[in-house]
């Protein structure tokens, strides 16, 4: 009688990020590059978690990001543009074209709800939300924009609108999921994003170079293997 084959354990990577965070967008691209080249990527499970850098941003305010950050930090707009220019240069290295003069500050709570509503298309929807916010100059706290993003990803636009408007039970559940992510971030001490956690044991913070993410993935897999 043959011995049943034991499948290799899966490492669970949780990534806290905010759609209004350019370094989260850059980090997502770098992490994806590392994961694509990781030999044991079939042993990696990724869950995106919600985070809000500016939860008090009024919905529908439609203020340019440069102006919003200058007011928040008490910095001259010229200094903010210089800082954003450096971010844009880094983003270009991973194929992202950001013009911060077109970026509109937004409350990201509903956008995070959409990622949860997307289920197994969450990664695709998150990428589309980043692109809408940073590249296309869309207002990602506008529900018309969120419904459009959802439809382009193959989700039912009518269902998504009903959920976001509170006319479908999934809507409340998605809000609860975002709140749970935010609470979990506080409990494990997340101070900034992007924040990557493997098996709730190993963490990496920031939009690290690809080789750092590869080492992180290697450790994540080794960690669950040792615990067998």
Cα 87 off chain centre by: 17
Tokens of 94: 């991973």
Of 30, 28, 69, 32, nearest to 49 by C-alpha is: 28
Question: Do 198 and 219 meet the contact criterion of CB atoms below 8 Å apart?
Answer: yes
User: Consecutive 10-residue runs of the chain (228 residues): their mean pLDDT?
Assistant: 62 98 98 98 97 95 94 93 96 97 97 98 98 98 98 97 95 97 97 96 96 98 80
The residue with tokens 């997307």 is 118
| Domains contained in the chain, CATH given | 11-57+107-219 (3.40.30.10)
pLDDT for position 5: 47
Of 145, 177, 193, nearest to 28 by C-alpha is: 193
SS3 state at 45? strand
pLDDT for position 4: 42
Of 43, 47, 45, nearest to 228 by C-alpha is: 43
């Amino acid at each position: 009688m043959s011995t049943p084959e034991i499948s290799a354990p899966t490492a669970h990577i949780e990534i806290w990020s905010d759609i209004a965070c350019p370094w989260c967008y850059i980090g997502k691209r770098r992490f994806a590059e590392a994961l694509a080249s990781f030999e044991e990527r079939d042993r990696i499970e990724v869950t995106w978690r919600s985070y809000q850098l500016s939860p008090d941003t009024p919905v529908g305010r439609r203020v340019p990001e440069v102006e919003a950050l200058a007011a928040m930090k008490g910095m001259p707009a010229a200094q903010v543009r210089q800082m954003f220019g450096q971010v844009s240069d880094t983003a270009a290295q991973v194929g992202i074209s950001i013009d911060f003069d077109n970026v509109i500050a937004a409350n990201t709570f509903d956008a995070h709800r959409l990622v949860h509503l997307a289920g197994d298309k969450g990664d695709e929807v998150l990428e589309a939300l980043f692109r809408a916010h940073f590249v296309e100059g869309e207002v990602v706290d506008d529900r018309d924009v969120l419904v459009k993003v959802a439809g382009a990803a193959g989700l039912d636009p009518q269902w998504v609108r009903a959920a976001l408007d509170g006319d479908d039970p999934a809507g409340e559940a998605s809000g609860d999921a975002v709140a749970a992510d935010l609470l979990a971030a506080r409990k494990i001490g997340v101070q900034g994003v992007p924040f990557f956690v493997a098996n709730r044991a190993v963490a990496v913070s920031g939009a690290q170079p690809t080789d750092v993410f590869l080492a992180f993935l290697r450790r994540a897999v080794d960690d669950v293997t040792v615990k067998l």
